[in-house]
Amino acid sequence: MQRTFTGVYVNINQLGLALLQWLESKGYKTQILSAGQYIVVQAKKEGILRTIFGANRAFTVRLSGGQGVLTVDVGMSDWLKAADVTEDVIAAMIFTPLAVIEGVEEVWNIRIEEDIMKEIERLISIMNQPMMGFQQPIMYPQPMMYQQQKVCRSCGFSNPINARFCMNCGSPL
């Protein structure tokens, strides 16, 4: 299954990590791989039967995008080895549509595919930050200090007493 989202401004690294955590919470063994413009999240169930039969297939989500476009591919593919991952390998990945797998497992896999896509949509709705021509100042955590500090009038950040410019937004102090 492939889906393209337009008007979406998300950090695909953060999206991939959030999806990875969600899949781990569902009991999957997971991995995240990055190469070039791609992030790949893979998830598979572990078990003695899978080990005996050498089952090396995984639910695979490939994320790519930029400039307000996000492309998501979901399907089954071989479990990748991190040492073998290059941008060309990820771009050429062959996804077996989940509907190709026969029997009871087919119905289950299609449901999982739908759940993964719903979770991606939920994460996008949380993470989507439309660009408005300016960047919001990043608020960095501050260590507990008992020294005098200068507070920035623009963003409220506490700066060292000898700072001439805000360490968060760059405004003169």
pLDDT tens by residue, 19-42: 999 999 998 889 999 888 899 999
Model-level pTM? 0.62
pLDDT of residue 50: 53
Q: Is the pLDDT of residue 98 over 50?
A: no
**Pair of tokens at residue 98:** 């989940």
pLDDT in tens, 74-96: 888 888 877 666 767 666 665 55
Exposure string for 114-126, b = 16+ CB within 10 A, e = fewer? eebeebbeebbee
pLDDT of residue 146: 47
pLDDT in tens, 101-144: 444 445 556 788 889 999 999 999 888 865 544 444 454 454 44
